Amino acid sequence: MDFELTEAQRSIREKAKRFADEEIAPFAKDNDERGAFPWEILKRLGEAGLMGGTVPKEYGGTGLDHISEAMIFEEIGRACSSVRTITSVQVSLVEQSIYRWGTEGQKRDYLPPLCRAEILGSFALTEPLSGSDAASIATRADKLGDGWVLNGSKTWISTGGVADVGIVFARTDPSAGTKGITAFIVEKGSPGFTTKEIKGKLGLRSANTAELFFEECFVPSKNVLGAPGEGLKIALSALDDGRYGVAAGCVGIIQACVDECVKYSKGRVQFGKAIASFQLIQEMIARMKVDLDAARLLVYRAGALKDAGVRNTLETSIAKYFASEAAVRAATDAIQIHGAYGYSNEHPVERYLRDAKVATIYEGTSQIQKLIIGEHLLGVKAFV
């Protein structure tokens, strides 16, 4: 693995950093307090070419390598995890799934507007009774003429209430087990498709999260993604991409914690001197820095494997597990360093903790990541 960034990678990092500092960070607190969805920010991200990810330019993407993609997620995550979540879903889960599994027509129809953020996408896998156990989904799709009829519901779907298009997973052959699940591209406004926003979240308050409901919702056969029965395979491959985006975003949270704590500890005076001189403060910030470098390198290792076309489920799970848990540690210590001020929204560190916590849950909990790691090491299958 080459630790030297290319000129192109350094350029994209600087571009993403500048955008995050100027276009995202100044509005993060207000959007969080109001629960305001960042429509304008997303539009400008698309215009800036920061939503095209690794999708080739011929389909409207940016054609980036995965290290560059991680840098974008990191810089956005440093400024606002809500925006990063929306971006990760759009780029990692929706665009990549359509590019990897879609027909030529699907790629031409959906990828250009997605990459420009002219439309938003969602990834609808989780159900009320099916979270970590993705293979147990109950939403049904029955063949009818030149299409399928969907019945069922999804929950905790990021961007689900505002997305123009969603990748929805449904059971098409109950007798086929894990090979009886199919992925569908469902457009907003389809008859029988409704949504309900989930409110009262601990964090990611300016990112939309929703329940989706399907009642006799007809989807034409041309909107099947991949082949019938390939749904679970598509979902698991997408999660490898999604977890990568989450991990990179968590690196951004840790970086933000380090930045805030260094600044605050140099200016906060107690017992006649800056608390930066206190060894226990130094210990907490030092641990953050070690976690920051370790998490970033784990993300880059997974990205290098992705760029090499090597299977990276294990390395991506390691990166997601470590980076998400480290982000929670960093944000917890950041609040402690800020004392009572850290417990209020006068400083952003309380938002960092609220936003970091969900990263240990969505796209595979920390416990699921440990099961994946254990399975690879021991050869014992704990789950599908």
Euclidean distance between CA atoms 171 and 169, whole angstroms: 7
Cα angle 103, 109, 113 (rounded to 5 degrees) comes to 130
CATH 2.40.110.10 range(s) for the chain read: 122-229
Decide if 197 is catalytic. no
**Amino acid letter for position 364:** G
Q: Which listed residue (23, 315, 363, 375) is catalytic? A: 363
CA-to-CA dists, residue 172 to 119, 151, 213, angstroms: 28, 11, 17
Is residue 75 predicted with pLDDT exceeding 50? yes
CA-to-CA dists, residue 212 to 124, 215, 235, 342, angstroms: 8, 10, 17, 36
CATH 1.20.140.10 range(s) for the chain read: 233-378
Work out the average pLDDT over 331-357: 97
Work out the average pLDDT over 276-301: 98
Return the CA Rg of the chain.
21
Work out the average pLDDT over 180-197: 98
Is residue 134 predicted with pLDDT exceeding 90? no
* Cβ–Cβ < 8 Å for 71, 12: yes
The residue with tokens 């693995």 is 1
Higher pLDDT, residue 43 or 133: 43
* Cβ–Cβ < 8 Å for 150, 214: yes
- Which of 329, 352, 280 minimizes the C-alpha distance to 84? 352
371 pLDDT tier (thresholds 50, 70, 90): very high
Around Cβ 53, how many Cβ atoms within 10 Å?
26
Q: For domain 7-120, which architecture applies? A: Orthogonal Bundle (1.10)
Average pLDDT, the chain: 96
**What pLDDT does residue 1 have?**
62
**What pLDDT does residue 230 have?**
96
Q: For domain 233-378, which architecture applies? A: Up-down Bundle (1.20)
CATH 1.10.540.10 range(s) for the chain read: 7-120
Is residue 384 predicted with pLDDT exceeding 50? no
Work out the average pLDDT over 11-31: 98
* Cβ–Cβ < 8 Å for 63, 69: no
Instruction: Please give the structure tokens belonging to residue 254.
Output: 């840790």
Euclidean distance between CA atoms 243 and 363, whole angstroms: 6
* Cβ–Cβ < 8 Å for 60, 113: yes
Tens digits of residue pLDDT in 225-249 = 999 999 999 999 999 999 999 999 9
**Amino acid letter for position 263:** K
Is residue 82 predicted with pLDDT exceeding 70? yes
**What pLDDT does residue 132 have?**
87
Query: What is the H or E stretch that residue 353 is in?
Result: helix 349-357
Is residue 88 predicted with pLDDT exceeding 70? yes
Least confident window among 85-94, 347-356, 375-384: 375-384
Spelled out in words, what is the top-level CATH class assigned to the domain 122-229? mainly beta
Largest CA distance in the chain: 79
CA-to-CA dists, residue 256 to 74, 79, 212, angstroms: 10, 7, 34
